[in-house]
């Protein structure tokens, strides 16, 4: 796997996957009782993580408003009142059974019962893609082993579709690798989106899918999830960002 070029203005790097537990209904259809059971199962698995993955689980309704706002602005926590999740029935009984796990440095996080049972996230400042991806892989494997050991369940997987998720766009690897990158002024929004699409990349605002760019900083990630390996998708992001920046410096 090649690396991001040093001259590429990367502010931070993130890799995340979505996962659901085999034997439980997905968030759109799960009962209140089963959602709480999923939370308890995951809390046991997460609290047993060791080393740099070790951290603590915080039920969503235990966090103060100021703590939530700070976590959301830092890109660590999901937002409330998502209209698409509400329309799909995912946010029923909100916020009961939801929460966030994170380690001391906030480089490894897990969202519980948001859009899926788990959203596993590895992130840090800078462009060290290999470190971020390595931490993600270790976290995924550690959680799955803990689930098998303590609850005799594992991640929901289909031999043709890969890891199963609430949103069809996450079928397959369920992985989204992204960077917050300062895009050169030589690109306007339309040019940037068209160029990224040709490179197999997706463009969002700094704070998520429906947000706008701030100060020329965009969230750029892989578009594809299905039919390729996680390493392939990560390499697509690396190659695409390098190409994007090389193109801009020639214009």
Does 67 qualify as catalytic in the annotation? no
Catalytic-labelled residue, pool 37, 92, 138, 169: 169
Catalytic-labelled residue, pool 19, 115, 173, 196: 115
Catalytic-labelled residue, pool 14, 19, 35, 176: 176
Does 236 qualify as catalytic in the annotation? no
Does 35 qualify as catalytic in the annotation? no
Does 80 qualify as catalytic in the annotation? no
Q: What is the dihedral of CA 211, 139, 181, 117, to 10 degrees?
A: -10
Q: Which helix (H) or strand (E) holds 18?
A: strand 10-19
Does 135 qualify as catalytic in the annotation? no
Q: What strands, in cross-sheet order, belong to the sheet with 55-59? A: 55-59, 99-103, 108-112, 118-125, 10-19, 175-182, 217-222, 201-204
Catalytic-labelled residue, pool 67, 209, 212, 214: 209
CB 5 within 8 A of CB 126: no
Q: What 8-state DSSP symbol labels residue 225? A: -
Does 167 qualify as catalytic in the annotation? yes
DSSP states of 113-126: SSSSSEEEEEEEES
Does 115 qualify as catalytic in the annotation? yes
SS3 category, 219: strand
Closest CA to 21 of 110, 170, 167, 147: 147
Does 214 qualify as catalytic in the annotation? no
By the 10 Å C-beta count (0-12 exposed, 13-18 middle, 19+ buried), 190 is classed as exposed
Catalytic-labelled residue, pool 167, 223, 228, 247: 167
Catalytic-labelled residue, pool 14, 35, 98, 119: 119
Q: Which residues pair with 205 in a beta bridge?
A: 208
Residues marked active site are found at 16, 115, 119, 167, 169, 176, 204, 209
């Amino acid at each position: 796997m090649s690396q991001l070029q040093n001259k590429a203005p990367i502010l931070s790097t993130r890799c995340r996957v979505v996962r659901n537990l085999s034997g439980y209904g997905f968030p759109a259809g799960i009962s209140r009782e089963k959602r709480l059971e999923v939370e308890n199962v995951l809390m046991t698995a997460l609290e047993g993580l060791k080393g740099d993955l070790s951290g603590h689980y915080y039920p969503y309704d235990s966090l103060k408003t100021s703590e939530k706002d700070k976590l959301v602005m830092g890109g660590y926590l999901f937002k409330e009142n998502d209209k698409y999740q509400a329309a799909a029935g995912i946010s029923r009984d909100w916020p009961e059974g939801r929460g966030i796990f994170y380690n001391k440095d906030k480089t490894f996080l897990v969202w519980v019962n948001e859009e899926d049972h788990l959203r596993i996230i590895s992130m840090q400042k800078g462009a060290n893609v290999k470190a971020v991806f390595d931490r993600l892989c270790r976290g995924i494997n550690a959680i799955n082993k803990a689930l098998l050991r303590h609850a005799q369940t594992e991640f929901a997987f289909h031999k043709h579709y890969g890891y199963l998720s609430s949103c069809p766009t996450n079928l397959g690897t369920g992985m989204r690798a992204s960077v917050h990158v300062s895009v050169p002024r030589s690109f306007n929004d339309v040019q940037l989106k068209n160029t990224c699409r040709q490179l197999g990349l997706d463009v969002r605002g700094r704070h998520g899918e429906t947000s706008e760019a701030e100060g020329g900083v965009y969230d750029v990630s892989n578009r594809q999830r299905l039919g390729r390996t996680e390493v392939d998708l990560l390499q697509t992001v690396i190659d695409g960002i390098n190409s994007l920046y090389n193109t801009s410096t020639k214009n």
